[in-house]
Amino acid sequence: MEGQTPGSRDLAEKSPLAAHPRSLSSLGAVFILMKSSLGAGLLNFPWAFYQAGGLAPAFLVELVSMVFLISGLLILGYAASVSGQSTYQGVVRGLCGPSVGKLCEACFIVNLLMISVAFLRVIGDQLEKLCDFLLPSMPLAPQPWYTDQHFTLILLSILVILPLSAPREISFQKYTSILGTLAACYLTLVIMVQYYLWPLGLVREPRVLQSPSSWTSVFSVFPTICFGFQCHEAAVSIYCSMRNQRLSHWALVSMLSLLPCCLIYSLTGAYGFLTFGAGVSADILMSYPGNDVVVIVARVLFAVSIVTVYPIVLFLGRSVLQDFWRRSCCRALADPLGLGVRMPLTVSWVAVTLTMALLLPDLSEVIGIIGSISSFFIFIFPGLCLICAMDVEPLGPRLKCCLELWGVASVLVGTFIFGQSMVVAVLELF
């Protein structure tokens, strides 16, 4: 990729991309990418380690995934500079054609809606556990109405989540992303410390798997990894908001973001699995005693972490709806980026996802579906963009052949992960 001409590498020389605001620092981009990756999937990694059959196969799958995760970010930055588009769906539409672009938009909306609902469900669960700890109910006595999850989640959405989701640019999220990243790190620290201290009330699981039960169980880890590393959907918007948009610099930002996330996920998965073994819950926090103050603090901070990543997901989903508005005749009525369009879209997104979260009390069964759809954005669409970009950029035949082969490999791996994980997820639902 470094062999292309300087004009194609520098996003600022592209039009209409040159008009996109470039106010995001490199450090801010690192934290937003990290926070996009450190989501609710952190709770599922110990269970994924158990599903994989132990530490060795889980680490191997994670290592293979990291190669594609980092390369996917590099491809998306390269594709944005080639296409001159400032959104993920715009890049796919510009390079792969309108048909693939419509598929990308449909997957984008469905995936982000499901992720938003899952995030609100996780926040609601942590609020419920916090209320149970602070206001323990007497036997046969009903809980006060203000501790009900429906009330607390609605109140939090109105007072905190909605204002955080209102800003026009994604660069605003760099401030909350720092807080969210530190909160996620605290959860990892708690799991590690609990393993060594082994507090009273924590049940030791004597049996720990050392090998996968079947080869398919190893691949079951991929959806959890895809669900955890949700930064690719935001990659193009982050890249286009950066002041320094050289591809070599973007590669550095990508590695500085994903490698610490990989370490946090690995430590959480390994120590959570070693603590509980085959008895680990899909939500690692549910495996700990409910009256442990350290764990309660971890619940609160993790809820804070999810609150800070929800606005990033909403921003991306709103950008797809704004693109629809921009391409339709409604553009003559109002600017899609203006307050008159942005705020109704934001309020509608929060209202719809909040309603779905309150109506669907348990989303653990659809985590695999979310992860399988995310494989489109991590593997398939970046691979297609790389293949199509070879018809646009003047590259040497050997380099072009290598990049096309890598694009094909990414598409094939993503298709396999999507098919395998979707079949497993659907079978588990029924």
Q: Give the chain's domain count.
A: 1
Is the pTM value of this prediction over 0.95? no
- The whole-chain average pLDDT of the chain stands at 80
Q: Is residue 341 part of a domain?
A: yes
Q: What is the CATH number of the domain that holds 134?
A: 1.10.4160.10
Q: Is residue 183 very low, low, confident or very high in pLDDT (cuts 50, 70, 90)?
A: confident
Selected residue with higher pLDDT from 97 and 392: 97
Q: Is residue 298 part of a domain?
A: yes
Q: Is residue 398 part of a domain?
A: no
Q: Is residue 1 very low, low, confident or very high in pLDDT (cuts 50, 70, 90)?
A: very low
Range of the structural domain that residue 327 is part of:
6-361
Q: Is residue 287 part of a domain?
A: yes
Task: Give mean pLDDT, residues 237-255.
Answer: 89
Q: Is residue 420 part of a domain?
A: no
Question: HEC states along the chain?
Answer: CCCCCHHHHCHHHCCCHHHCCCCECHHHHHHHHHHHHCCHHHHHHHHHHHHHCCHHHHHHHHHHHHHHHHHHHHHHHHHHHHHCCCCHHHHHHHHHCHHHHHHHHHHHHHHHHHHHHHHHHHHHHHHHHHHHHHCCCCCCCCCCHHHCHHHHHHHHHHHHHHHHHCCCCHHHHHHHHHHHHHHHHHHHHHHHHHHHHCCCCCCCCCCCCCCCCCHHHHHCHHHHHHHHCCCHHHHHHHHHHECCCCHHHHHHHHHHHHHHHHHHHHHHHHHHHHHHHHHCCCCHHHHCCCCCHHHHHHHHHHHHHHHHHHHHHHHHHHHHHHHHHHHCHHHHCCCCCCHHHHHHHHHHHHHHHHHHHHHCCCCHHHHHHHHHHHHHHHHHHHHHHHHHHCCCCCCCHHHHHHHHHHHHHHHHHHHHHHHHHHHHHHHHHC
Q: Is residue 38 part of a domain?
A: yes
pLDDT at 3: 39
Task: Give mean pLDDT, residues 258-272.
Answer: 91
* pLDDT surpassing 80 at residue 219: no
Selected residue with higher pLDDT from 292 and 258: 258
Q: What percent of the chain has pLDDT over 90?
A: 18
Selected residue with higher pLDDT from 379 and 423: 379
Most confident of 180-184, 311-315, 369-373, 406-410: 406-410
Model pLDDT for residues 384-405, shown as the tens digit of each residue: 999 999 888 777 888 889 999 9
Q: Is residue 404 part of a domain?
A: no
Q: Is residue 308 part of a domain?
A: yes
Model pLDDT for residues 269-297, shown as the tens digit of each residue: 999 988 888 778 877 887 887 777 888 88
Q: What percent of the chain has pLDDT over 70?
A: 80
